[in-house]
């Protein structure tokens, strides 16, 4: 029990300087904390969109537009970004191209002497 109370006192003394920025009024404190959380979410969305668009395209103008969209209008802009972003990353497109080339090299050549069956409709 003594250890718990000493830990609580140490924790309170280390947090106390940071509490000077938070208001004493509970409503104002709730507004401050919610603004801090919304700001953190907006920053996270901008970093996520930046990382994601860098992996999906090589077009600088498209990258700039998407990052600016998410930065200016964080909530709605992020959902718009999710709608307009390329479906696959550049690595996924490259992998698909390489697999298609390997498949075309491995697949047998089409036979030219194959007889087509014609179906006559009465």
Write the pLDDT tens digit of every residue in 6-26. Answer: 888 887 788 777 777 777 788
Q: For the chain, where are the alpha helices, taking DSSP H only?
A: 2-15, 26-56, 60-72, 74-84, 90-106
Rounded mean pLDDT of 35-55?
96
Give 104-121 pLDDT, tens digit per residue. Answer: 888 776 655 555 556 666
Higher-pLDDT residue of 72, 1: 72
Q: How confident is the model at residue 3 (pLDDT cuts 50, 70, 90)?
A: confident
Q: Are 81 and 49 in contact (CB under 8 A)?
A: yes
């Amino acid at each position: 029990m003594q250890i718990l109370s000493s830990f609580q006192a140490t924790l309170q003394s280390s947090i106390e300087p940071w509490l000077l920025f938070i208001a004493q009024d509970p409503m104002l404190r709730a507004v401050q904390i919610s603004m801090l959380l919304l700001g953190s979410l907006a920053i996270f969305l901008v970093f996520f969109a930046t990382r994601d668009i860098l992996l999906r395209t090589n077009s600088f103008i498209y990258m700039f537009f998407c990052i600016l969209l998410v930065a200016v209008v964080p909530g709605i802009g992020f959902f718009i970004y999710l709608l307009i972003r390329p479906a696959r990353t550049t690595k996924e497109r490259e992998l698909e191209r390489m697999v298609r080339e390997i498949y075309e090299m491995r697949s047998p050549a089409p036979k030219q002497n194959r007889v087509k069956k014609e179906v006559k409709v009465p």
